[in-house]
Structures are given as structure tokens and as C-alpha cells.
Amino acid sequence: MESYLSNPRPEKNSGRLFSDLQRKVDTIYQMLLRVYGAQGITRRADRLKVTDLMKSTDFYERVKALEILVYGEQEMSSTSDPEALPQTIRELEESASELLARKAVEERLEKKVRQKIEERYEEYVSEIRRQVLKENAEPENAATLKKLGYLEKLEYTQLSTSAIEKVRPLNFEEIVGQKRAVRALLSKLCAPFPQHILLYGPPGVGKTTCARLALEYAKKVEGSVFSAGAPFIEVNGATLRWDPREGTNPLLGSVHDPIYQGAKKDLAEDGIPEPKPGLVTEAHGGILFIDEIGDMDPFLHNKLLKVLEDKRVYFDSSYYDPHDQRIPQYVKKMFDHGVPADFILIGATTRRREELSPALRSRCAEVYFEPLTADDIRGIVESSAARLGLTLEAGVSQLISEYTNEGRKANSILADAYAIAIFDNPSRHIRVTRKHILEVIRSSRITSYAHIKASPEPKVGKIFGLGVVGYLGTLVELEAVSFPAQRKGEGYIRFNDTSGPMARDSVFNAVSVFRQVTGEDISAYDIHINVVGGGNIDGPSIGAAVFLVMMSAVRNIPLRQDVAVTGELSIQGRIRPVGGLSEKLYAARQAGMARILCPVDNYEELPAGSARDIEIVTIDRIEDAFRHVLAVT
């Protein structure tokens, strides 16, 4: 055995054991041939550099080549040992069998794969064809192109700018009658720590225009917190509504679920909800202006307060799964961390301060815009006429000021008259006359807002009180007549039932003070006190005026008709403070009053410079009022 194995070139029939080993080696080579193929085994032998060993007549070299082919780069360690050679060949045989078995399995799997491909070939081809057609499909057809052409045609059809747009103020210098309001607004907005702001005032006085100009002004201030690209987002609060299902919320943002509310197709297919930011996020870093903020839904008010507090908007959805790996990063970030909403809120309203949410008011600075006077309206009309290239007949601006106290409405009347003037005389030079204004007033059925005017002629049983309607003051015209009681001691007092309980209480107080001051019992007289024009008087501020008109009627004392009176009358004859003094001053000026009487406790509330064109007299007791309202002083 040892001599046979040591023979380097053994003959074929040198020994039975050797023949068995040689056959096994040949079998292993055949197995490798089936695994790799003729070309494959040749390439593998070249790569492993065993081609010469394979062709060698030396048995040991052929076994070594076989070992390298089976195990790769491994060096044979036992082929030179005759005792270990059989074990080595058995191991090679097992490894080759494993390779052959694996090859057979792979061939069967590949055969099945080919069968499946052949079975589904047509389906695959059809699917690929549909996908290619979808990717290369043109979205346009004859109908869509026709609609596109229609839209492009609309772009080329434009009307000229309206007259109202042309006369709109372009800077703060062109805003009339609001110097204090503009100063207050800009000081709060241009500070290092700008505040949220609420703008109060009647319509047509410039609140919206001031808000539009405020941001551009603030951007130019050195050290301003607003960048050059800070946005100004404008919305009308009356159009904003809160949806309890959170399906739509243009102000704060909303979440479109993938089933009912139409999330994007690529999200809906995976069941992913789509958050959509609202106006508060669009206004991030700038100003969110809400006109008519007093008309917003109360629930939406409360949600807005939360955003003002957090300076972020958070989204929630039962469809959102934070562990879903298919969710895009931007959607995940919006759900997990919310989106920024750091802005300055400017809200404008024509409602009274008390009608707004106290929680909102506590977070905002408040700025009041003054009603426009007749002089302001005249200035607006004349400025607008100059910008429109018109000439005005004498008295046109005065006539317009008698029919409106809104700047927007004044410009509207002027624009309508301008149109009539062009229609009558389509020449280059347009002149608007009083006749044109009166035609607009009649065709639009506009009524004068200032029927009551001061008069230099004193009258018995007539006086003017002062009241407030909204942000505008109004004159309350009181008249009274007195007769001796038809039956002694059974006199009566009649008063408008529609004036309300507070006005009726003022009459009762005046009766008590009349007896206290004169020592007479009012039952000796039949007295009728009338509020001209009727209407409900929601407040006690006509008390002093009621007493004075009653005294004038009973004692036949003429009263000045260019004096207006406000103040609550206590049963002890004191003149107690009242509200709305700024609005009441406005009403007195509009009516041309020379003097007003007001409680002494209201003195500190008088606006600065309020006495520039009207005499203001403060009174503490009703007796102090007599000498200021009597026709002869």
C-alpha cells in the first residue's frame, strides 16, 4: 500500500485501492463539470491557476487541483499524506455533491421562475404598457385646451382702475383726521417688542388702510423685528367659520384624512392624512390682519388665542401613525412638532369694545379711530378731486359732508357724480357741480345724517342732550310743554314709552330735583316731555337735559339752542359722570354747537385739544348749569 501510493506515476492496475480513489476523483471532476459547465470550469481553473495541475499525470497534483477548484483559494494540506488521502477525497466528494445538489435546486427554482414568467408574461407586458402610457400620457385634450384658451383670453380683458382705488391713500400723510390713531398704531408696531393690536372705530375712517401701510413703514424702521420679506396676510373675520370636524379651517389649518376629505393621491393610497397649514402660518414673521374681527365665530376666537400663546399650530388625526415608515418626513414633522405661527395680529372692528372677547382684548393693545368731522370729509373730497383731475363747483364738498361722515362713502358719492358729469359732457375737462351731487343723492336715496343743527335763536322748552350710537355721538333733541293741572294737585307727566326705562328714570329723578330746587310740587302742572324722533335711550346721560327742559317749560325760560348738555342727574342734584365723551364731542361739533356742558368728573377724559373749536364747561351740580344755558347771561 505504501509503495503503491508513493509511486509518482502509478499504472492503471497498480492496485485496487488506488483505482477506486482515481475513479472517485474522476467522478468528482464530472460533478464539477455539471455544476460549472465546460466553459465555466475552464474559466474557474484559469482564475485559480490550476489548469496545469488538472492536466498533470501526477495523481497528487490532480487531487490538489480538485481541492482548489472545490474550496477556492484554500491550500490542500493533506494530499501528500497517503493515510489522509482517502479522507480528503471523501470530503471533496461530499462538497461536490453539495454543490451539485444546490445546482439542481437552483435549476428547479429557475425552471419554476421561467414557467411563472411565461404564465404571466402577457400580464406583465400589459401592466408595463399601461404604466408607460400613463407616464407619457398628455394631460391635455380638446376640451381642456379650450378652457385654457378661455382663461388666457380673460387675462387680456381688463377694466380700468375704479375711482375708489385711484383715490385710496398711499401713505399716512394722505389719511385724514387720524393722526393720534396712526401715531398709536405705529408706536406699538415699531417697538422692539411689538404688540398685538385691536383697531376700533366706525366704518370708512381708514382702519384697513392704516393696517396695510403699517407693515411697510415698520420694515423701514431701524432695529425693526420685521424683515424686508415679512408677509401681510389679510382676511375678513366675517367669512371665517369653524368646522367642528376640523375638516376645513383656512385660518389655523386643517387635516385632510385619506378617506373622506381627499388627501393627495400618493398619501391617500397609503392611508396617510395630509396636514395643511392655514393663514396663521402664512403670516409667520409678519402681520395677520383680520378685518371685522368682532364677527368671528367665538370658538375660532378661542382657538386663535391658543395660537397667539404658543406661536405654533398643532395637528392631530386618528389616521396618523407615528411608527408608519411610509409617512413622508414633512408630514411627520408637522404632526409631531406642529408648524410655526409667530406673527403680530391686527384686528379691526366696528363693534363696541364690550362686544369683543375679554380674553382677546387682554392680549392686545387697543387703538381708537376717531369719527370724521365735516372738515375731514371736505378735505377728503377736495384731495380726491385733485387726484382724479376734477374741478369742483363751490359748495360741492360742503354738500357731500352733510350726507356722510365716512371717507369711503364720500369718495363713492364723488365718483358717482364724476360719472354723471362725464355722461353729460364727455370732454377732457370735467367739472362736478352741486347739481350732479344732488342727482346722486336722489338716485341713491341718501339721507342727511345731520338733521339737527345749532341755532342762534333761543327757545322755550327745547334743549339738546348728547348720546352715543356705536362709535358716533348723536344729539338728542328734547322738547317740553307745561300747563296748569286741570285738577289741582293731580297734574301728570307724559314721556315717550319707546325711550326706555333708563330715560324714564331720568324723568323721575328730574321731578324730585325740581321740587328740591324750586320748592314746588310738580303735580301742579301737566307736563309733556318728548324725545324728538323717538328711539330707545340706553343710558342715564340725558338726566341733566331733562331737568333743564322741564324747568324751561314750567317757568317759560328761553334756552340757548347752540348748547348741548350731557350728564346723569342724581336725586340730590349732583351731575354724575357719563361715558362716550369723545363721541359726544364729535356730535356737538357736527351740529355746530358753540358750547357743551359735561360732568366735572369727566374732565380728565377730555381728549387733548378738544376745546380748540368748542367751549367745554364742566358742572358739578344742576344749579351750575342754569347760567350756561340761559339765553341771557
Q: What is the pLDDT of residue 317?
A: 79
Partnered with residue 364 across adjacent β-strands are 196
Calculate mean pLDDT across residues 219-227.
Answer: 88
Q: Which residues are catalytic?
A: 541, 584
pLDDT-derived band at 101, boundaries 50, 70, 90: confident
Position 414: which residue type? L
User: Where is pLDDT greater, at 461 or 102?
Assistant: 461
**Record: fold of 166-368:** Rossmann fold (3.40.50)
The shares of helix, strand and coil residues in the chain, as percent rounded to the nearest 5, are 50, 15, 35
- What CA–CA distance (Å, rounded) separates 620 from 611? 19
* Whole-number pLDDT of residue 136: 61
Quick check: 428 pLDDT over 70? no
What's the full length of the chain, in residues? 633
**Do residues 40 and 69 make contact, with C-beta atoms less than 8 angstroms apart?**
no
541 to 336, 596, 633: CA distances (angstroms): 57, 13, 25
- Those residues with Cβ within 8 angstroms of residue 362's Cβ, 6 or more apart along the chain or in another chain: none
Domain with CATH 3.30.230.10 in the chain: 455-629
pLDDT bucket at 365, cuts 50 / 70 / 90: very high
**Centroid of chain to Cα 439:** 41
Cell of 7: 509511486
**CA–CA gap between residue 292 and residue 239 (Å, rounded):** 9
Specify which residues 200 forms β-bridges with: 349, 368
Instruction: Name which of 70-79, 183-192, 196-205, 491-500 the model is least confident about.
Output: 70-79
Q: Which three cell numbers stand for residue 595?
A: 358750547
Instruction: Give dist(CA 198, CA 305) in Å, integer.
Output: 14
The per-residue pLDDT of the chain, averaged, comes to: 82
Locate CATH 3.40.50.300 in the chain.
Answer: 166-368
CATH of domain 374-444: 1.10.8.60
Beta bridge partners of 180: none
Does residue 567 register a pLDDT over 80? yes
The model's pTM: 0.68
CA distance 307 to 341: 7
Decide if 232 contacts 212 (C-beta within 8 A): yes
Q: What was the pLDDT predicted at 131?
A: 74
pLDDT given at position 14: 45
Q: Looking up cell 322755550, which residue turns up?
A: 460
Which has the minimum average pLDDT: 13-27, 142-156, 586-600? 13-27
Higher pLDDT, 330 or 185: 185
Alpha-carbon torsion 310, 315, 321, 326, what sign?
negative
Amino acid sitting at position 94: E
Predicted confidence at residue 178, as pLDDT, reads 86
The CA distance from 365 to 371, in Å, is 20
Query: Strands 253-256, 274-277: parallel, antiparallel or unpaired by DSSP?
Result: antiparallel
For residue 135, is pLDDT > 70?
Answer: no
Per-residue cell: 8: 509518482
Could you tell me the pLDDT band of residue 349, with boundaries at 50, 70 and 90? very high
Judge whether residue 366 has pLDDT over 70: yes
Of the candidates 414, 458, 407, 404, the residue with the CA atom closest to the CA atom of residue 436: 414
Q: How many CA atoms lie within 13 A of 577 on its CB side?
A: 10
Quick one: pLDDT at residue 287? Answer: 93
User: Which whole number is the average pLDDT over 532-559?
Assistant: 87
| Close Cβ partners of 390 (under 8 Å, ≥ 6 residues apart) | 414, 418, 421, 430, 431, 432
Pairing of strands 472-484, 462-469: antiparallel
Domain 455-629 of CATH type 3.30.230.10:
yes
Q: Where in the chain is the domain with CATH 1.10.8.60?
A: 374-444
- pLDDT, one tens digit per residue, over 19-66 is 777 888 888 888 888 888 888 888 888 888 888 887 777 787 888 888
Residue 265 in this model has a pLDDT that exceeds 60: no
Q: What is the pLDDT of residue 589?
A: 84
